[in-house]
Amino acid sequence: MFTLPELEAAESLIRRYFPATPQFAWPLLAARAGCEVWVKHENHTPTGAFKVRGGLTYFDQLESKGVISATRGNHGQSLAYAGAKRGIPVTIVVPEGNSLEKNASMRALGAELIERGADFDVARQYAMQMAAEHGLDFAPSFAPALVKGVATYALELFRNAPPLDALYVPIGLGSGICGCIMARDLLGLKTEIIGVQSTGADAYAQSYAAGHVIETPTAVTQADGMATRIPDPKALEMIIAGASRIVTVTDDEIRDAIRAYWTDTHNLAEGAGAAGFAALMQEREAMAGKRVAVVLSGGNIDLPMFRDWVTG
């Protein structure tokens, strides 16, 4: 999909907007998990999530009268942020009942917001229809330019942390885990990459096991960053080739992981952002004594969910 020099050029582009995010080994998380735990803090970007990296690379060479896309939040914030930097209008379609705080953030970043459909996949179909009708560029959640951008966090992690035995990565539509696979392979590393999904939104897990795309009728999880029903075929192909397995975690396990991040690191994780650590805790016996990384992919959790999952 891209070369190491191209990935390094993307990293240089992103450095013009914000510094590298930290990766820390947290002792209290290690005590819980029984292994050395490194956290890649993508909650420390200007939009509070890893997706902004892909938005910046997507818009870098784009000439457009307007961009439209669909999201549950972080992808839309990424596009709104990057579009504003390039002076390109951005329209975002979100499902009805979407996070009020993520909606407010996208509007504050300059996006026009449309609420349509019962879930992300319905919103995505409407956004594609709007793109065709109005001559807009549809920005998918998975595309080579996006993967190259988000792969820069994996490049930072692999080059600044000690050699890692394993890396747990949440899966929404797949750009994050595919970026990690690409960065690992380009650097010639042996790190095992493990995908993470919700038990209530496990289309990629089912597809990985079957070896082909399986669509699910619903995607029911409070971890909205992983609430997808229809895998991207190209993403699935890369995941099958490059990931060791996909672990599914319950919302209760995600809640416990959010609490662990809060008490052990004083970092706030959204549902998808905590899923990697939830999966590590599920597999802690197999990972005992190893050096493991998890991606805190975002910290954009709504206040009511914070009260329910962290302080409740």
- Which pLDDT tens digit goes with each residue over 14-43? 999 999 999 999 999 999 999 999 999 999
Supply the pLDDT for residue 1. 82
pLDDT of residue 54 exceeding 90: yes
Chain centroid offset of residue 101 CA: 18
CA dihedral 60, 62, 65, 70 (to 10 degrees): -80
Supply the pLDDT for residue 121. 85
Chain centroid offset of residue 22 CA: 16
Distance between CA atoms of residues 228 and 311, nearest Å:
28
Q: State which H helix or E strand residue 213 sits in.
A: none
Every domain range in the chain assigned CATH 3.40.50.1100:
4-50+144-311, 52-138
The average pLDDT across 143-171 equals: 97
Torsion-angle region of 82 (φ positive above 0: left; ψ -120 to 50: alpha; else: beta): alpha
| Domain covering 52-138, topology | Rossmann fold (3.40.50)
Name the band, by pLDDT with cuts 50, 70 and 90, for residue 262: very high
Of the candidates 21, 24, 38, 23, the residue with the CA atom closest to the CA atom of residue 287? 38
pLDDT of residue 295 exceeding 80: yes
Q: State which H helix or E strand residue 120 sits in.
A: helix 120-134
Of the candidates 234, 231, 309, the residue with the CA atom closest to the CA atom of residue 268? 309
The average pLDDT across 57-64 equals: 94
**Percent of the chain at pLDDT exceeding 90:** 88
pLDDT of residue 312 exceeding 80: no
Supply the pLDDT for residue 60. 95
**Percent of the chain at pLDDT exceeding 70:** 100
Supply the pLDDT for residue 196. 98
Supply the pLDDT for residue 30. 98
The average pLDDT across 234-261 equals: 97
Supply the pLDDT for residue 308. 86
Of the candidates 21, 83, 86, the residue with the CA atom closest to the CA atom of residue 49? 21
Tens digit of pLDDT for each residue in 196-215?
Answer: 999 999 999 999 999 999 99
Supply the pLDDT for residue 274. 98
pLDDT of residue 232 exceeding 80: yes
Tens digit of pLDDT for each residue in 72-108?
Answer: 888 999 999 999 999 999 999 999 988 888 899 999 9
Give, in words, the CATH class of 4-50+144-311. Answer: alpha beta
Of the candidates 286, 308, 310, 299, the residue with the CA atom closest to the CA atom of residue 34? 286
pLDDT of residue 254 exceeding 90: yes
Supply the pLDDT for residue 179. 98
Distance between CA atoms of residues 147 and 45, nearest Å:
17
Supply the pLDDT for residue 72. 84
Distance between CA atoms of residues 310 and 306, nearest Å:
5
